[in-house]
Structure 1
Amino acid sequence: MLRLACVLFLAILPWSADAQNVNDNCGLSGNVTAIKDVPWIASVQHDNKHICIGTILNTKHILTASECLKSRKIPGLKVRVGNANRDSGLAMAVCKVLPHPNSVGQKGFGSNLALLTLCEPLTPSEEVKEIAIVDTEPDKDSKAEASVAGWGSLSWWRWIVKPCWTVSSAVLRKSNVQLMDVDKCASERKGWNWFSNPLATDLKVCTAKKEKYCSFDKGAPLVIDGKLAGILVLGDCDRKPDVFVSLFKHKTWLQANTKDT
């Protein structure tokens, strides 16, 4: 039944060869990967359901998109780490949520960030590691190696083919990506009012899509030369570029609020 649904899905939408290279052919981005390749990945969950992707900044702090936490109460929040399946792995309770002060009511969502403080610290291992934030602003013309990893979106395309997103989106994947100019990115995404504010564009990083496929879920980490450069806040199932919050622009806030306590 799952295979039939995915075949019908692919017949309707012209997925790329790269997208079809994944094991289940459900139009998701990237190739299946092991948790040891991206050990900083976390699943942010509420009431035992995945809501967004998180990134391990240190043993007590997980970074995600602030919009994922709207109307979510802390007692129901936890993160899962150390497993390629987002519904498995070690579950850690969250004791504090700190949205970026500019994330509420800001046109452009340029600071769409939130820090989760765990009740107990993580124990580092081959499957659970922190990742450092970039030291320099991402350069679209550099030859740096950029990649995005995570799980398939539950928010952008689940209404299309339910069997695909319920099963296939739980599998960890990784994609190599190419940075692109934020002005060109904004132009290609015109119509999204929050991205039309030119004053906010330097708070974002964009990556290009050469073909039509589905983005990762919100909060997915953009990694450049082994360091965290952004988290995904806008993507979909077409060729429009993916949009990330630039963490270089928020490094001072992140460092100030992730010190050992």
Structure 2
Amino acid sequence: TSVHCDLVALRFALEKFHGFKIINGNKAPENSMQYMVSLQSKFGFHLCGGFLIREDVVVTAAHCDELEPYQILVGSHNLKGSNRRLIKIQSRCKHPDYKTVGLGNDIMLLKVSISLSPTADHFTKHKNCYNSDNQICSVAGWGKTLNSHDVDDLQVVNVSIINPKVCQQQWNNELPPNVICAGGYNTNKGFCQGDSGGPLVCDGKAVGVVSFNRNANCNYPDAPNVYTDISKYLPWINKFLMENKCPL
């Protein structure tokens, strides 16, 4: 079966535990994912991933707020690259129904202090889009790889969409609502610590936000990776974009 969605699409060339990493992925081609951002501490340490949906707005995971991100890094696939820019976060807006990562609604919007582009063309809405079982998508991040600590170069890996019923069964019917499952099940590919907040991209469209895996085990357990389904939060996102403040 397929799941109908009305979702945010990027126009670039396109956890129950904090943060996640890319497992068995590859270095992302330079300049291929300019919408990606690194959420960082005041001292320049990578905390979570995120992605631009407008020149001054970033989508990430709500649980990343607990790490108190101070700024974002943009402009380079390498965290130490010469073209990187550090931009202060002006405000953070967690979804009002978020309580803890395992209960869902794991999505947050960030307003940054300056616009990163002269136009607002970085996103658009696409209707009549379907996420099919076994559809090949991708997830990217700067988190740990299987045999290393956190990496400087952005990593990307292909993952397959998993049927919601299969995913619920593998999670013993404990999944929160409004999620998408992809990777980490019948495969050795997926995300892990350091990738939280990054996008699940299908056909050039951001459809999910990295949320959690099982017991932060990236070695890979036979349990699907879980993403927040962006399509379920479009009214809230659009209200934020129109009002330029956290919706009440």
Is residue 141 from structure 1 mapped to residue 124 from structure 2 by the alignment?
no
Counterpart of 2:229? 246
Give the residue type in structure 1 aligned to 2:196. K
SS in 2 for 1:38: coil
Report how far residue 131 of structure 1 moved: 4.2
With normalisation by structure 2, the TM-score equals 0.75
Gaps in structure 2 of 5+ consecutive residues:
1-20
Counterpart of 2:103? 109
With normalisation by structure 1, the TM-score equals 0.71
Any residues of structure 2 matched to 1:138-217 within 5 Å, and which? 138-141=130-133, 145-153=136-144, 164-166=148-150, 169-190=151-172, 196-197=174-175, 200-201=176-177, 203-209=178-184, 210-213=186-189, 215-216=191-192, 217=195
2:22, 2:157 within 8 Å by CA — same for their partners in 1?
no
1:60, 1:118 within 8 Å by CA — same for their partners in 2?
yes
Counterpart of 1:86? 79
Counterpart of 1:257? 240
Give the residue type in structure 2 aligned to 1:165. H
CA distance in structure 2 between the partners assigned to 1:98 and 1:82 by the alignment: 23
Change (3 A) 1:111 1:150: same
Report how far residue 213 of structure 1 moved: 4.8
Structure with greater strand share of residues: 2
Change (3 A) 1:258 1:226: same
CA distance in structure 2 between the partners assigned to 1:256 and 1:189 by the alignment: 33
Counterpart of 1:63? 59
Counterpart of 2:18? none
Change (3 A) 1:182 1:142: closer
Counterpart of 1:13? none
Identity %: 22
| Structure 1 vs Structure 2 CA RMSD | 2.8
Is residue 221 from structure 1 mapped to residue 199 from structure 2 by the alignment?
yes
Counterpart of 1:20? none
CA distance in structure 2 between the partners assigned to 1:60 and 1:207 by the alignment: 29
Structure with greater helix share of residues: 1
CA distance in structure 1 between the partners assigned to 2:66 and 2:77 by the alignment: 26
SS in 2 for 1:258: helix
**Larger RCO (alpha carbons 8 Å, 6+ apart):** 2
Name the larger-Rg structure.
1
Gaps in structure 1 of 5+ consecutive residues:
1-25
**1:201-244 deviations in Å (ceiling 9; x for gaps):** 3x000113343356151112111111110111013411421110
